[in-house]
Structure formats: structure tokens, C-alpha cells
Amino acid sequence: MQTRHILIAATLIFSACHKEETVHISDAHISVGQTITSDTLSGAVKGTLAAGKTYYFRTDVTINQGDTLLMQAGAKLIAIGDGKTTATSPQITCNGTFISLGTADANNFITVADSLRKPENIGKGYWGGIQCGAASGDVIIKWTHLEFAGGPAGPSADPAVFAEGDPRNLITYTNYNGHFILEDSWLYGSTDDGIRILHGNVSVMRNTFEANGKAGGEALNLKAGSVGDVAYNLVIGAATNAFKVSNSGGGPVQTKVYLYNNTILNCGMRQVKSGRGGSINYEKGAQGKIYNNIIVDCRYGMRITPDADTTHTTYNNQFFYSNAQTQIDQFYTADGVGRKQSNDIMGAATPESNAPMFASYDVNQFDFAKNKAPLDISAMPFTIITAQQYDFSLLPGSPALKSANADVMQAQKTVPQGGLYGATTLQPSVDMGAYPSNGSGNQHITSSLLSK
């Protein structure tokens, strides 16, 4: 097999790396630097985790500034920790560039031992997640399972991100000038937020977020200086919001997020603070466009607070459903400035009207009228906080078909597009939700834990 050697300039794709990486392309795989031969990682790491190999780490590992760690398709990275202390819940510290190039046929895994990959371990936070520094390079993750992070932060954690003892996120990204690309991946069972973007250019496409946050936390939390597109994601069973978009903290770049064609179910039920949590939340100076989302059985629907940048925020074509009157009354939250729009679909203002008609998910399997928030996670069956083997595509006759607006905007595309290292950022669909009838949206039909 012949191998070509290509130098990729730092400014082309590894935007925050300050030296060139040697990239090797063969018929089957791409690699960066040297292939890592030890099956146990520790200290500073760079190079390639080989296809089909399993690697382990029980202490913190660091990708230094200017270095790259790449996972080939089918690689596994197993954290060995118990989540009880900072020292016993190791993290990946990324000050360089991290790339995980799983494929549909060969997923990658950053998780725990198979014996711990069980629904009853949701929220236990066995490891410390991927924590990126303010000058880190790009993070590019495709077809990858990220599971069970959330161990407590230590005294040396960045105080702008975590206080000592806070649960760490599956991923935290903090570079204003960097690119964060997450595609076709699963984020499962985090103790708090699945992902927190403090700053950066983002494309979050076609992912599945399951049971993020044990008692609080968002699936995706976007803060000051987050700019980009979030679409075709499935979010089920988040503790607080599916998507929280805020410009809190200020800074040189205003948060501007286009949020469209997502399917959101059963979120917000574990947040103990009243008035918080449910599906989509824009606040504190954030702006964006919000269209074509399906919101089902969430504690709260759309929340646009008075301090959001309402002048530059537009929204319409949302689909709402609930089997509980308390949720119906909050399709647009009482404490927000959002109001029903001309092309929203709500049906009659009574429970169980206007079902979205998913192919194989029963929207009434759990009675939210009898089981009111806040609920402990133990009171929520796994069947309503994880994706199981549900098919969230829309049956013929669904009111959500051909009810979206595909022309209202173009994706911002703030990250590089195409190829192994670029995003495949999709435009809005004519159908609502993450699973349009042309098959171009979310490709997942199983929960993260059903893949090995």
C-alpha cells in the first residue's frame, strides 16, 4: 500500500495550531504524526490512535498547544475512573487540536468499560470529559460516542468554567477563533451539561443527546461568543434545556446561533429551580434564528427572555405537543417575550391533541399530567430519557411534514466545510424536526449504548 505525505498548513484547518502537522493518507485511513503504540495514555499525547484499537487512560492526558491527537475510524478510548474525586475521574485536556474521525460503519468511542455502560450509571460521571483551553486548536468529532463524563473539577480548573467540585462536561470549548465541529455523534449520560461552548465557531449537526444532566444541565449550552449552526439534532431527556443560548459574560463577539430542524423530547423535568428548563432558551443578549423545531412533552417550550437580543432574533414554524395542560400553557413561557407565531403548530389547547406522528415512538407513554416536575431521575423511565430503538421520522399524514420553512435563512457556516476535516452543515428542510422525509437529516436509529 502506498502512502502519500501531505503538509496541511495550520491556518487552513488547524486554526489555532502554530506548527504544521504531517498527515499521512492511505487507501483506508488518515493519520497525523506517529501512531501511538502503547495501549495506555498518560501525560502529553499526540499522534494517531489506530483504527480498531482500544486505548485506556486512568490519569489526565494533555494535548499540548500545536499538537494534534487523531482517532481513526473504529478506535476506542476508555477512561478508567470512579467519578468520586478529581484525581479518580481523569480528563482529556486539549490545548491543541483533537480529531475523531469515526464513520457510520466504524464508530469511535470515548467512554468507560463495557461493564459500566449501563443506563443505571447515567450521571455518575466516571471521567472528566474533554476540556479545551482558551487557545486550543479545532475540535472535530464525527460518528463518535461520548459517554458518562462529569467527575468533579479540581482546584486548578479554570474559574471561568468550573468552580472546584463542579461536575465537568462531556466537552467544553472556549476558543473565540477556533472551530468546533460535532457531527453524527452521541452524547450520553453526562452529570451536567453535555457540551458547553463558552466561545467559538460551531457546527453541531445530526447528533443524538441522551439523558444529559442528572439533576440539572443542558444538552448543549452556548455562551458568549458562540457563533454558528445547530440543526438536525435529537435531544431526549435533558435535565434542563435541550439548547441554552446566551451572551452571558460579554466579550468581543456576540452570540449568534441559528437553531433549526431539531427534535426535542421530555426535557426540563429534573431541574429543581422554577421557571427554568425545557427545550429552547435564548437569553442575556444572545441573538439568532429559531425555526422548524419539534418540541414534545417538555416542561417548558420556547423561552426568549426580555434581556435577549430580541431585535435581531426571529422565530417561527415550531411544532409543539404535550399530554399535560401545565406544559401546553408554557409552550411559550410566561416569563418570556416569545409569542405564538403564524406558522407554529400547536393544535387545540388541550392535552393529547395534534400528535406529531413519529414512526415508532409513543408520545403518551409517560403521563406528564400526573408526574409533575421536578422529578428525580429515578422517577423517569429510561424509555423516555434515552433513544432506545425509536424511529423519530414522520409518518405520512404528520402535520409536521411540509410545514417547515426551508427558505427563511441560510446556515451561517462559520466553520470550514467539506472533506474529512470540514463540516457537512445542512440547510433548513421543508419538514419540521431532525428527520426530514428525504432522509438527509439525523441518521441515528438507536441509543448510544446499543453500539459496541
pLDDT at 15 over 80: no
Which pLDDT band, with edges at 50, 70 and 90, does 28 fall under?
low
pLDDT at 387 over 90: yes
Residue pLDDT, tens place only, 51-90? 999 999 999 999 999 999 999 999 999 999 999 999 999 9
pLDDT at 399: 97
End-to-end CA distance of the chain: 29
Mean pLDDT of 196-204: 98
Task: Answer yes or no: are the C-beta atoms of 308 and 286 closer than 8 Å.
Answer: yes
Plot region of 156 (φ>0 → left; ψ -120 to 50 → alpha; else → beta): alpha
Mean pLDDT of 100-126: 99
pLDDT at 431 over 80: yes
pLDDT at 214 over 90: yes
Q: What angle do CA 97, 39, 171 make, to 5 degrees?
A: 35
pLDDT at 232: 99
pLDDT at 11 over 60: no
- Secondary structure (DSSP) of 382-436: GGGTS-TT---SBPTT-TTTT-S-SSS------S-BSTTTSB--PPP-SSSSSS-
Amino acid letter, residue 405: N
Which pLDDT band, with edges at 50, 70 and 90, does 98 fall under?
very high
Residue pLDDT, tens place only, 225-260? 999 999 999 999 999 999 999 999 888 999 999 999
Helices (H) and strands (E) in the chain, counts: 1, 31
pLDDT at 23: 57
Percent of the chain with pLDDT over 90: 88
d(CA 17, CA 63): 11
pLDDT at 103: 98
Which pLDDT band, with edges at 50, 70 and 90, does 21 fall under?
low
Mean pLDDT of 99-104: 98
pLDDT at 402: 99
pLDDT at 25: 45
Mean pLDDT of 387-415: 99
pLDDT at 249: 82
pLDDT at 27: 41
pLDDT at 427: 99
pLDDT at 99: 99
Mean pLDDT of 278-286: 96
d(CA 90, CA 126): 8
pLDDT at 250: 80
d(CA 330, CA 316): 16
- Secondary structure (DSSP) of 104-150: SSS-EEEE--GGG-SGGGTT---B--EEE-TT---EEEESEEEESB-
Q: Which residues pair with 144 in a beta bridge?
A: 108
Residue pLDDT, tens place only, 313-345? 999 999 999 999 999 999 999 999 999 999 999
pTM of the model: 0.94
Mean pLDDT of 256-280: 93
